[in-house]
Copies of this chain bind each other. A is one copy, B any other.
Amino acid sequence: MAVPVWSVDPRTGKQREQVATEATAQEVDAAVRAAAAALPALADRSVRSRLLRGAAGLLEESGERIIAAADAETALGVPRLTGELARTAYQLRAFAEVVDEGGYLDVIIDHADPDAKPLPRPDLRRFKIPLGVVAVYAASNFPLAFSVPGGDTASALAAGCPVVVKAHPDHPATSELCADVLRRAAVAAGLPADTVVLVHGFQAGVELVRHPLVSGAGFTGSIPGGRALFDAAAARPRPIPFHGELGSLNPVVVTEAAAAERAEQIGAGLAGSFTLGNGQFCTKPGLVLAPSGADGDRLVTALTEAASGAAAGVLLDSRMRDNFLKGAAARTALPGVTAPVVPGDGGEHVVQPGFVTVEAADLTEQGAYDLLLEECFGPLTVVVRYGSGDDLAAVLDRLPGNLTATAHLGADEADQDGGQAAALLARLTGLAGRVLVNGWPTGVAVAPAQHHGGPYPATTSTSTSVGGTAIERWLRPVAFQDTPPALLPPELRDGNPLGVPRKVDGVREVPAS
């Protein structure tokens, strides 16, 4: 019995159309085998770079249709989705540049040295090769940039790995359109269409991570879902790397000096950040440490004003809306917690943004308030009022790992080398994969230096899912010992015929570009 996959409009809760059926175990097996057969064809770097650029072009060509489908399925709105599509196309092209440059191959060459100490040394040449088929688990909240044509797929293809994507059930029609773009781009680049294969269905996702021919997985989603798949990946007879981005509170610390200088600006900025995309960003600031006293009060007042004006919005699906309503109610019901702007029901299919405040002392010990240290997906944030540095430190000590951590500093603090602000930044660095000063964590720039990851549960590995180094997740090194030139991959031959960055006998070789 084929289980239908429906596209649903979250603005009405109504089914739009049946898009596909859930993949059976046999269909998952066929998908993985088809993708695996594409592996040899992907060995050529120039073909991969053509694939990625071609996919970017086709995505833009089909942009209007894809954005319309995505808006109908996610309610994220055409402007936001137009930006997301541009970002996704940019990301595909950025990975094409990574492939062309070749630095990611991490080539190291040590020529034979018969006089080496303590022993004569053979000729050793090392670079990185693709892992094999990669399973990508698409996210709900970015139907393009963290979904079928998103960073996991782009980086895996860049590495030379065929991809089987498990579509997110919140946007199956968008997923089909995007898979079609990628498959057409593959064919146009001279590759098999099955270089990218799409499957639907929860159980299909479980089969996928267990499939013997799957060699790695990328995931963006919830802690329970991601952890279950991580556990399955680790429990395989042959465990595979599972790069999951699961959840993050994204703490923000506002110092006394920052509040004194810019309470209103920070309050308004926070409102903009926690309500952005209806609070459905993995980098939403979910816990904000603001000082007690008059300056902190001004911050809360500004936040109250700005958040009161925030429009009610549609979440990605009704289950998320139910969870948000439950989560908001449980948090506001805690004794001592106040809700200057009450988060919750905003009418049929919509939710109202809001925030709560709590005293730091309530959070410093395990107990009922632990709920406030858990991510609540949607437009809600928690403002913690701290009276002293000790209070602040005690709350930070209780935080799990995060994608981001932010400090808002006073002007003098920001200029002082080795002072209290430096100590605060060191503390925040221990908690997160990205540290920001005087900014907001929502918005993750696609850039070579980006790191979108962090201590568990932010990610299940030390890797990033955004930025050029995301390619590293899908590679493994191989060293060739005393291998005749004719049998070496060209990147490893003397003379550097393909002009890739290398380290040769300890000296970095940067080819002229």
Contact = CB atoms under 8 A, between A and B. Distances in A.
Given A238-B401, A506-B448, A435 B119 contact: no
A159 B247 CA distance: 27
B126 A460 contact: no
Interface in A78-128: 83, 86-87, 90, 103, 106, 108-110, 116-119, 121-122, 124-126
A110 B447 CA distance: 7
Given A234-B231, A422-B487, A451-B126, A108 B435 contact: no
A117 B90 contact: yes
Nearest to A118: B86
Contacts of A448: 108, 110, 503, 506
Contacts of A414: 484, 486-487
A461 B131 CA distance: 11
A445 B126 contact: no
Contacts of A433: 476-479
Interface in A413-458: 414-417, 421-422, 425, 429, 432-439, 443, 445, 447-451, 453, 455-457
Given A435-B483, A487-B414, A477 B451 contact: yes
Nearest to A434: B479
A477 to B, nearest CB: 5
B401 A486 contact: no
Contacts of A125: 449
Interface string A216-246: 0000000000000011001100110100000
Contacts of A460: 239
Interface extent on A, as a size class? 35 or more
A501 interface: yes
Contacts of A479: 433-435, 449-451, 467
A475 interface: yes
B437 A487 contact: yes
A4 B268 CA distance: 65
A445 B111 CA distance: 12
Contacts of A450: 110, 124, 126, 479
A469 interface: yes
A124 B445 contact: yes
Contacts of A464: 477
Nearest to A401: B238
A117 B446 CA distance: 10
A406 to B, nearest CB: 9
The residue in A108, A129, A241 that gathers the most chain B C-beta atoms within 10 A of its C-beta is A108
Given A434-B478, A506-B448, A415 B90 contact: no
A403 to B, nearest CB: 10
Contacts of A436: 480-483
Contacts of A83: 118-119
Given A487-B422, A487-B425, A481 B437 contact: yes
Given A125-B449, A126-B449, A230-B234, 20 more contacts: A86-B117, A87-B118, A90-B117, A108-B468, A124-B445, A126-B451, A234-B234, A239-B456, A422-B486, A425-B487, A429-B478, A433-B477, A436-B482, A436-B483, A437-B480, A439-B482, A448-B503, A451-B479, A462-B476, A469-B477
25 contacts: A86-B117, A90-B117, A108-B448, A119-B443, A124-B449, A126-B450, A238-B455, A409-B484, A415-B484, A422-B487, A425-B483, A433-B478, A434-B479, A435-B478, A435-B481, A436-B483, A437-B481, A437-B482, A439-B481, A439-B482, A450-B479, A451-B479, A462-B476, A464-B477, A469-B477
